[in-house]
Amino acid sequence: MTTTRKTARGAIEVKAYASLPYEAPPEGPALNELHVTEAFTGGVVGQGVARMLQALGKDGAASFCAIERVEGTLDGRRGTFVLQDSGTLAGTTVKGAWFVVPGSGTGELVGLRGEGTFEAELGAHASYVLDHWFE
C-alpha cells in the first residue's frame, strides 16, 4: 500500500568537503572523488555523508553523481535512507536531482520512496525539495 505523497523542503549546509583527484589527463576533464558531510534542516533534519564522483572541466564546469546516506528525521519519523544524486556545476550554480534508493530506509523510514531536486550558489546553503511517500 502506497501512502499519500508529501513534500519536504529545507536547506543543506556543507560541514566538511574534501576533493581527491584520481585522474588529471593533459586534455579533457579531471576526475575527482569528493567526500562531503552535510547538515539538513527543514523537512529533513539530520546529517548526510556523501561520496561523489566528479568530472571537472578546465573552465570550472562540472558534472557529478553521488550516493549519500542521511541519518535523522523526515517529517518527524526517525531513521536513515540513501539518496542517489546527479547534477552539474555551471558558473557558480550547482543544480541536481536525486531519488531515494528503494529499500534503503531504516527505522521509522522503512518503505520510504522519493525524488526531488537541490540547488545552490557556491559558498551558500543549498535549498532542496524531496517529494516522498511510503510503500
- DSSP, collapsed to helix, strand or coil, labels residue 109 as helix
pLDDT single digits (tens) 114-126: 999 999 988 789 9
Return the closest-CA partner of residue 53 out of 35, 71, 28: 35
Determine, yes or no, domain membership for 121. yes
Count of domains observed in the chain: 1
Domain that holds residue 113: 9-134
In this prediction, the residues of the chain whose per-residue pLDDT falls under 50 are none
Determine, yes or no, domain membership for 1. no
pLDDT of residue 27: 94
pLDDT of residue 3: 80
Determine, yes or no, domain membership for 2. no
pLDDT of residue 1: 61
C-alpha cell at 21: 583527484
